[in-house]
Chain A
Amino acid sequence: MSAKTDVMEASEQKADPRWRSVEKTMRQHGYHANGLIETLHAVQEAYGCLDEEALRRIAAELRVALSHVYGVATFYNYFTMAPPGRHTCVVCMGTACYIKGAGEIMERISKEFNVAPEETSDDGNLSLLSARCIGCCGQAPALVVDGEIWGGLSADEVIERLRRVLNDA
């Protein structure tokens, strides 16, 4: 890669509005390595996932090793490197939800919409994820669909509502 394209890419990234919020977070933490996890949160929020280019950039800006950034990014479950689908469905697999049949719901969704748990369907329409208790155990079994909490539904009801959500867009 020539120096010229390097500069071009850097300025392109600078102009990227998504990068700006990441930069803001790093600034808030004084460009200190301590702020790495907060910065990763900012990346995921802005880019929808941990974008590789952004991570390499962060490593340089915070002066931490690439392997360190990668190590941290993959240690925590909340972070993902794969871009999410148009819709996301997070099935809670915490104890309360498990006791109330979350396993079956997961299985049904996976079968019905042809998407493996923790993955995105081939058409990019649905990401099926799991979580370890989202703190809504009172409403078990609980799901989060596009940021909205669905509680206390049977597997059939979930499938039906989810189908409507997916067909909408």
Chain B
Amino acid sequence: MGAELGIYKSCVSARSTDKEILKASQDGGIVTQLFGFALDEGIIEGAIVAVSKDFYKKYPEKCMACYADDTKEPFRPIPAIITTKAELMESRGTKYNISPNVSLIKEATRSFGLDKVGIVGTPCQMQAIRKGQLYPIGLRDVGDKIALAVGIFCMENFPYQSILQLVEDHAAMSMDSVRKMEIGKGKFWVYGKRGQVVQLPLKVTHKYEQPGCHVCLDYVANLGDISTGSVGSPDGWSTVFVRSKIGDSVWGKAMAAGCFETQPIEKVKPGLELVSKLANEKISKNKKTLEERATFGVGKALRNPYI
């Protein structure tokens, strides 16, 4: 196990000690618990998260909704800035389609006037904010206000219409009847509100993936202050990498405050070996895509963003 897991100071399997959080969190409620703690402690004054239409109905002024559809469709993530615990609780759970969370990073420091901003995002979104800190081309006075960046593991993401097709056409459920979606154990799971569960093999989902994901070389959010995902830990638990100085400090304080119960990552099944295996699979598959792009046409390459 090496570079594919990024640099980290510590790694554990963890879950929130707050039963309320766990009721609707995707996995161990790590993201919500961290932001909740950081809000309480004044480490952040607000956080950029992905919410859904119910949140929009209550707090439209906190959302970045540009088009009418944004606010109507179930499981359509809407980037939003939460500043209270109540708002935070409504952001729990993964929405498996694109939420441009970074689009709010400047606005958080402007209209919302936040000096200490939290943000959750996929590995590519962590790359975006670190590029933005080092090369703040259009992000004046933003970089040093990013107080806690929580990365979530990510194998791929989907356009909203792909999710529609997967749920409605393949799984034959209506979007409104879905309680939760999940990718795990080699399957795409759709859990209905009435208790029904449909699973699709991942080979069905591949063609629906966002193309931009096929050049992505990061699985476990190497550039988050803390990054987390379900893979590697038992059901209901999360794998957590503590990476930066900020991450280390926040994690230490949250642990001391009793926010999390943890198990050594070496003791849990399937453990880091699986994380490492999936990370390597993703990276080598996408490196191959980049190679293929180099000879895509006849003497013509597709662009490679990496320099």
A and B: interacting chains: no
